[in-house]
Amino acid sequence: MKIGNSIASLALLMAYVVPSIAYSSNHNNNNNNSIRGPSNPEVSRRNLLAKAGATAMLLGGLGSNSRLALAEDVVVAAEEDTLTPLYFGVGCFWHIQHEFIDGERSILGRNDHQLTSAAGYAGGKSTDKEGRVCYHNFQGVADYGKLGHGEVVGMTIPQSKIKDFSALYFSLYNPRTKDRVDPGDKGGEYRSLLGLPGGTSHASYPLVEAEATKAGFKLVEGKGNDPDTLGKQIVYVYDTKKTTDSNPHYHRIGCVGMNSKLD
């Protein structure tokens, strides 16, 4: 079977991609600002290359669906226990944190000590001078809304389960209106967004995009400080590896150094 150069090259390139586990903001190395998760197991490059090569051979003759099929096979090749930090946001983060905790239990079989889903903020371009991103407060300190962030839930899950968690995410929308279930909350703080290492270039992105399309949504690359998505049926996608002042980043909920009532 003749293998298309672009497909073969893509498969080999993806074989080297092993997601980072311990993602954190460069503004604060404290654990309060990182997505939790256990240590990343070493993945055999030889096994990945072999599986990627086989994937390329199988997909050489496919047409428009080859990109999606390739992503599925590469995700499998990355092994079940290769963990990936990511986040999802749609409206208020409290109820979706509950849903993702249930997802970790039902999809991954995790117990209370293994859960990683935590509320936080993402999608903004900056923090305050002390590297903080905080909930609305009377002091007006590092207000996440004014800093351009949205409410999200961050977690660390096996790369092979990103498709399942994406399906869970899109099930959280109102199926009739295709909007968040709490439309009374308005503003960029409540926009729809998700973050992956590498953003739209992540190996599992086509799988996430397929779930979005199935649910009637369009994925749009986020620029940071993006507006509300209410009534638009779009979801902003951010690259969690970009953690400079000019790029979106994720922050666990809480304000280091502030009164506990604001945490």
Q: What is the dihedral sign for C-alpha 218, 219, 224, 229? A: positive
The CATH number assigned to the domain with range 20-36+80-262 reads 3.30.1060
Task: Indicate the pTM of the whole model.
Answer: 0.69
DSSP 260: G
> Which pair of structure tokens corresponds to residue 196?
């992956």
Burial class, 68, CB count within 10 angstroms (exposed 0-12 / middle 13-18 / buried 19+): middle
Burial class, 20, CB count within 10 angstroms (exposed 0-12 / middle 13-18 / buried 19+): middle
Domain boundaries, the chain: 20-36+80-262
Tens of pLDDT, residue by residue, the chain (263 residues): 444 444 444 444 444 333 332 333 333 333 344 444 444 433 344 444 445 444 444 445 556 566 666 666 665 554 445 899 999 999 999 989 999 999 999 999 999 999 999 999 999 988 888 888 998 889 889 999 999 999 999 999 999 999 999 999 999 999 999 999 999 899 999 999 999 999 999 999 999 999 999 999 999 999 999 999 999 999 999 998 875 444 445 566 655 433 323 32
Contact assessment for residue 70 and residue 11, using Cβ atoms and an 8 Å cutoff: yes
DSSP string covering 97-112, please? HHHHHHHHHHHH---G
Distance CA 92, CA 181 (A): 9
DSSP string covering 133-198, please? -B---TT--SBTTTTT-EEEEEEEEEGGGHHHHHHHHHTTS-TTTSS-S-TTS-SGGG--EEEETT
Distance CA 215, CA 64 (A): 20
